[in-house]
Amino acid sequence: MMTGMDVTFTFEAAGELARRTVADARRPRLDNYTLDALWVLYDRVLRVDPRRPDDPGRDRFLLSKGHNPGAFYAVLAAKGFIPAEWLDTVAAFDSRLGAHPDTTLVPGAEISSGSLGHGLPLGVGLALGLRATGHADARVYVLVGDGELDEGSNHEAAAYAGAVGLSNLNVVVTDNGSAAHGRPGVIASRFEAEGWSVAAADMGDHEALYRAFTAPHPDRPHVTVATVHS
C-alpha cells in the first residue's frame, strides 16, 4: 500500500486538472480551495492504493463537503483512481462524475455525499467498525466545511468520538467563514471541549497542513482547522 502514490502528477498539474471541472451549474466560478488539503492527504498521508481500492487495511477518506467535488475528482485523477478524461464531462447526463460524488460510480469515493452533516457521523461509525474488525491501524479522515458544523449531527458525532477515544478518526475542517451560526475562531475549542486533539494550519501552507494532519494524538480523535484566506 502506498502513500505518495507513484503517479507523476504534481500539485500544479492537479490544479490544471481541477480547472477542467465544472461540478455544479449553480456555482459556475470554480472554487477549489480544498485542493491544498486534498493534495497533502493523498500525496503524503493516506495509505491508499488505486490498484487495491478495496484493501480492508486501507485508510478511508470521506468527503463530507460533497457539493463542491471538483478538487476531489482532480486529485483522484492525479493519483490514478479515475481517468483524467472523465473530468471533462463532470455533471453531464451520462457522466460518472456527478455534482455530488456517488460511491457506486466513482472509484476511490468511500461515500456518496453532498447532504451536509452526514460525513462526520459516518466517519465515526466507520472508525468504530474498523476498530471492531481488527483494522484499528486503518485511519479515517473526514473533510467537512465550517458551515456544516451548523448541523447538530456533527456535534453529536464529535461528542461521542471524544467520549470513546476514537484515535483512528481525523477530521479536517475547511474554515472559510461560511458558518451561519458559529463565531469566528471557536471551531477548535468546540472539538477540544469534547476531548479531541486539535491543530490549526493555513490552507495554502502544505508543510503546516502535513504537520497538523500527522500530529500524534494517542487515545483521542484529532481535528485540523484549515483556514482559507480569500
Percent of the chain surpassing pLDDT 70: 90
Domain ranges of the chain: 11-227
8 Å CB contact between 223 and 188: yes
Helices (H), the chain: 11-18, 35-40, 70-78, 119-132, 152-164, 187-193, 206-213
DSSP 114: -
pLDDT, tens only, 93-106: 899 998 889 999 99
Task: Classify domain 11-227 at the CATH topology level.
Answer: Rossmann fold (3.40.50)
Phi, psi of 169 (to 5 degrees): -110, 130
- The answer to whether 62 and 122 have CB atoms below 8 angstroms apart is yes
**pLDDT (0 to 100) of residue 102:** 95
Higher pLDDT pick, 186 / 135 = 135
3-state secondary structure 18-41: HCCCCCCCCCCCCCCCCHHHHHHH
Percent of the chain with pLDDT over 90: 71
31 pLDDT higher than 70: no
pLDDT of 28 > 70? The answer is no
Its pTM stands at: 0.92
Closest CA to 12 of 30, 45, 29, 35: 35
**What strand order describes the sheet that includes 197-202?**
60-63, 140-145, 169-175, 222-227, 197-202
Residue 84: φ, ψ to 5°: -60, -25
Mean pLDDT for the stretch of residues 56-70 = 93
**At CA 209, angle to CA 118 and CA 42, rounded to 5?**
65
More confident residue, 6 or 172: 172
**CA atoms of 119 and 153, how far apart (whole Å):** 10
Residue 181 binned pLDDT confidence (cut-offs 50, 70, 90): low
pLDDT tier, 32 (very low <50, low <70, confident <90, very high otherwise):
confident
